[in-house]
Structure 1
Amino acid sequence: MRSTLRLLAAALLVVPVFTGTANAADHGQSPIHFEQARKVGEDEVVRTVLGGEIATTTIDRPGSWYVKTHFTGLRLVAGDVLTVSDPAGTETYRYTSDVRASGTAALDATGFWAMSITGDRAVVSLTGGDGGRAHPASRVELDKITRGYTESELAAAAEIAPKSICGSNDYRDTLCYRTSNPTEFGRTNAVARLLRNGGSLCTAWRVGPNNRMLTNNHCFTSGTGIEVWFNHQCTTCGGTTSATVTKVLVASVLKTSIALDYTLFSVTDFPTVSQFGHLELDPRVPAVGEEMYVIGHPAGKLKKLSLRDDQNAGGYCKVSAVRVPGDSAQSDIAYRCDTEGGSSGSPVLSRQTHKVIGLHHWGGCPNQGVRVDLIAAQISPLL
């Protein structure tokens, strides 16, 4: 535990730090801003060779919220299958000799990463196509894993992370607003969690009806190994159980910008996530005082809706400033909706139009998002 936290603390120290220009409500002070990705997992070296008499192994990391496996030296006789699943078999990924055909493998220089398994146990098996024994010549080596932090590790990490909860924490599970704010709730399905290379989190969302998604440039610029989790949200208001998650991989990066901190990308197996709907851009500069909200995965949690602001007498979140410095001059809008590490890439929506007016990327109270009118000018031909 101590070594994990030391590594995490070191990672937090190298997060880029920026200064932004405060509005009048901030009494002329310049707040410290920071990008809001969140480290949530740790790599481990393992060595298990499957083949011959050894047909299966179980990776057990008690309390971890996911397990992601890496393989090298894959050699499968035609018809044999490498399977990675949870113990119940409800989440299962199958790989043949043509690993790319699965659509769930992220290839690298030494082998490939399988899709993560939600929970603390992953079962890896090498079998024949009919479920029987694999051919004696088939083999594969499991050489490393990434396991998600336990609840206690996540809590400890949150304690040492930079804060962007402005006053009291007012964000809530998305489902809590299904009845009271059905329009805002109706926009939440299009938002997904990103698991970056097995070890850290951001947020992303579907933009437009086609296979297009947006997140921050500081979340990734190359799609290798990036998982996209849809429907990772509570089944009850205040609950801890997630709905059934649909996972796909980033397929390609279509356009990215450091100056406006965005990455536009597509995903594999798009038909499986088209059911979650999409958001529309509102390419204008919002008014100061305009009510707004943020949808995302702060601190890597099940999806949250940040709608209320105790800094505003408990009313709705509002845009507090526009044309404030971001990665470029006058590129951002500011607000005090609560966010945390993992919120990077979240959509900022207007309560007037319920369309996206900003791409959240900085914490620091006020928190900041990149103006969508600037992003839209660059990406509209690709949507």
Structure 2
Amino acid sequence: MVFASIKKIAVLAAVTVAAVNAATTPEAPFYNEAGILQVGTQEALNVTVAAGLSRDDVVSYPQASYVAVHFANFNLPEGDIVVVRSPDSSVAHFYTGKGRDDRENFIASFIPGDTAIVQYFSAAEAAQAGAAPKAPSYTISGFSRGFPSTHSESVCGVDNTRPAKCFASGTLFNSLPLAYEKAQSVARLLIGGQSLCTGWLAGSEGHLITNQHCIETAAAAAAIDIEFAAESASCSIECTQQLGCPGKVVATSATFVTNSEPIDYALLKLPATADISAYKFLQLRASGPVLNERIYIPQHPAGKAKRISSTLDSGSNAIVERVGASHSCGSNQVLYNADTEGGSSGSPILAASDNKVVALHHCGGCRNAAVDIRDVIRDLNTKRITVSNLLA
């Protein structure tokens, strides 16, 4: 790991710091204790930056797939700005005041690749020789870094998921004409700078549903990158790298509404400022799934660009194979064989007949398991939580 500080173009320091928990942290994605696909880990830093003097800092870790800088005590003077960007400036995030959602202590949105540049621009640039030291403006307290993108989790048999774009035209469009449109409501979630899940817009008020094992607390909801339109440009482009084919991060935090560990769902509310009009929303089928009905699953398996699962190795359509099943993943489960991977947790299971959500994917091996959407509806009703246009 290398941290370098640069002031006025001159390199002042380059410090190599020992990796935290290097001996025990796997250098490949793994399932953590919560059952989430963890794709990175944290490293510690302690670099305090004084207000009033512009500077560049470089945070780098060899072969990291992404870097997400951690800030503490972030409190910029009025007019100052911090930019966290990639070396080529193709990706950049901007922070003022008390930082991400005025939280002071936060994780910046991720930068793809192994290097992030932190640029501090002081409006005053008041520091002069002999001037009194300025108060601290922020501390770079560490960073999350993605494991090298060399691990690919296997699916059972052939991977029959296809890039979402394949459903925008041609044979797959003719078979499932609304699948691509409905998939626009599905987002890639990077939680706490380290874990990947899938979520989707539910109802017309900016709510998002995913799994409880993805979002266990309000703190997890407050440290989440919600990224829509992360998909390949055409059907022929697979874009199978983790966090590949970047889309638009519409929110970097969400409000926790409720969750349920037994049912394994979480309901969040996106900020009112999030521009989500282009992504529409999905609705829950109040009557739930039907045995043997055809289904499809838009998802971000292993954090890849958006893909849709709709067929099996045999070439037949994916269907609901059991309803109300007892399974190692829980009771009253909906079972099916459509392909998923780690990172698909929280994906919607949509019925081909009416394009409504009938189940919530959360677990499984070769035979996958989902929460019956009626259990989610019942829990919301019990808690007297209403969401406009949620049910159909």
Higher relative contact order (CA 8 A, sep 6+): 1
The within-5 A match list for 1:330-349 is 330-349=331-350
2-structure distance, mates of 1:217, 1:359: 11
C-alpha distance in 2 between matches for 1:14 and 1:356: 28
Q: Is the 8 A contact 1:250 1:265 kept in 2?
A: no
Flag the 1:356–1:117 CA change in 2: closer, same or farther, 3 A. same
Query: Are the counterparts in 1 of residues 190 and 225 from structure 2 also a CA contact under 8 Å?
Result: yes
How far does the alpha carbon of each residue in 1:145-196 deviate from its partner, in whole angstroms, 9 at most, with x for none? 00112212x34xx3xxxx6x23321111111221132311111111011111
Higher mean alpha-carbon deviation, 272-281 vs 190-199, is at: 272-281
Deviating 4+ runs (over 4 angstroms): 3-6, 9-16, 326-330
After superposition, give the CA deviation of every residue in 1:29-84 in whole Å (9 maximum; x if it has no partner). Answer: xxxxxx5x211112111233334666111223354332111112434332222221
**Sequence identity, in percent?**
28
CA distance in structure 2 between the partners assigned to 1:231 and 1:74 by the alignment: 31
For residue 46 of structure 1, what is the amino acid of its counterpart?
L
What's 1:382 paired with? 386
Confirm or deny: 8 A CA contact 1:233 1:242 kept in the other structure.
yes
Report how far residue 97 of structure 1 moved: 2.8
Match of 2:149 among 148, 151, 157: 151
1:46–1:143 contact (8 Å) kept in structure 2: yes
CA pair 56-306 structure 1, distance change in 2 beyond 3 A: same
Partner of 1:95: 95
2:66–2:146 Cα contact (<8 Å) kept: yes
Task: State the SS of the aligned residue for 2:25.
Answer: helix
Unaligned stretches of 5+ in structure 2? Answer: 1-18, 128-132, 388-392
Q: Provide the residue aligned with 1:366 in structure 2.
A: 367
* 1:7 alignment partner AA: T
Equivalent residue for 2:10? none
Answer yes or no: is the 8 Å Cα contact 1:289–1:319 preserved in 2. yes
* 1:213-238 Cα shifts (integer Å, max 9, x gaps): 10111111222312211122212223
> In structure 1, what is the equivalent of residue 125 of structure 2?
133
Q: Scaled by the length of structure 1, what TM-score is found?
A: 0.81
CA contact (8 A) 1:184 1:354 kept: yes
Aligned amino acid, residue 216 of structure 2: T
Relative to structure 1, the CA distance from residue 316 to residue 225 in structure 2 (aligned partners, 3 Å threshold; closer, same or farther) is same
Asked whether 1:170 is paired with 2:164, we answer no
From 188, 206, 227, give the equivalent of 2:183. Answer: 188
Contact kept in structure 1, 2:37 and 2:196, CA below 8 Å: yes
- SS of residue paired to 2:254: strand
2:292 maps to which residue?
Answer: 289
In terms of fraction of residues, the more helix-rich structure is: 1
Alignment pair present for 1:302 and 2:305: yes
For residues 341 and 362 of structure 1, the distance between their equivalents in structure 2, rounded to whole angstroms, comes to: 9
Q: Identify which of 198, 203, 227 aligns with 1:203.
A: 198
Aligned partners of 1:127 and 1:134 also within 8 Å: no
Say if 2:265 is the partner of 1:262: yes
Matches of 1:212 and 1:343, distance apart in 2: 19
Residue ranges of structure 1 left out of the alignment (5+ in a row): 17-34
Tell me how far apart the structure 1 counterparts of residues 126 and 323 of structure 2 sit (CA, whole Å).
62
Letter in 2 for 1:193: R
Give yes or no for contact 1:106–1:114 (8 Å, CA) kept in 2.
no
AA in 2 matched with 1:265? L
Return the alpha-carbon distance in structure 1 between the equivalents of residues 33 and 247 of structure 2. Answer: 32
C-alpha distance in 1 between matches for 2:41 and 2:330: 37
Q: 1:134, CA displacement in angstroms?
A: 6.4
Tell me if structure 2 keeps the 8 A contact 1:113–1:225.
Answer: yes
User: Counterpart in 2 of 1:32?
Assistant: none
> Which AA in structure 1 matches 2:326?
P
CA contact (8 A) 1:230 1:246 kept: yes
Q: Is the 8 A contact 2:45 2:142 kept in 1?
A: yes
**Which residue of structure 2 aligns with residue 83 of structure 1?**
83
* Mapped partners of 2:364, 2:374: distance in 1: 21
Please say if 1:119 is aligned against 2:113: yes
| C-alpha contact 1:326 1:370 (8 A) present in aligned 2 | no
Distance in 2 (CA, whole Å) between partners of 1:300 and 1:125 is: 28
Q: 2:207 corresponds to which letter in structure 1? A: R
Distance of aligned partners of 1:63 and 1:176 in 2 relative to their CA distance in 1, 3 Å threshold = farther
Give SS of 1:7's match.
Answer: coil
Q: Which amino acid aligns with 1:204?
A: G
Contact 2:75 2:98 in 1 (8 A): no
Q: Which residue of 2 aligns with 1:38?
A: 37
The answer to whether the 8 A contact 1:205-1:347 is kept is: yes
Aligned positions of 1:311-322 closer than 5 A: 313-322=314-323
Letter in 2 for 1:242: C
Q: 1:275 to 1:119 in 2, by over 3 A?
A: farther
The TM-score with structure 2 as length reference comes to 0.79
User: How far apart are residue 13 of structure 1 and its match?
Assistant: 7.4
Task: Name the structure 1 match of 2:130.
Answer: none
| CA distance in 1 between partners of 2:143 and 2:185 (Å) | 29
Instruction: For 1:76, give the aligned amino acid.
Output: L
- Deviation of 1:337 after TM superposition, in Å, equals 0.3
Residue 269 of structure 1 and its aligned partner are, at CA, apart by 4.8
Q: Give the alignment's Cα RMSD to 1 decimal.
A: 2.8
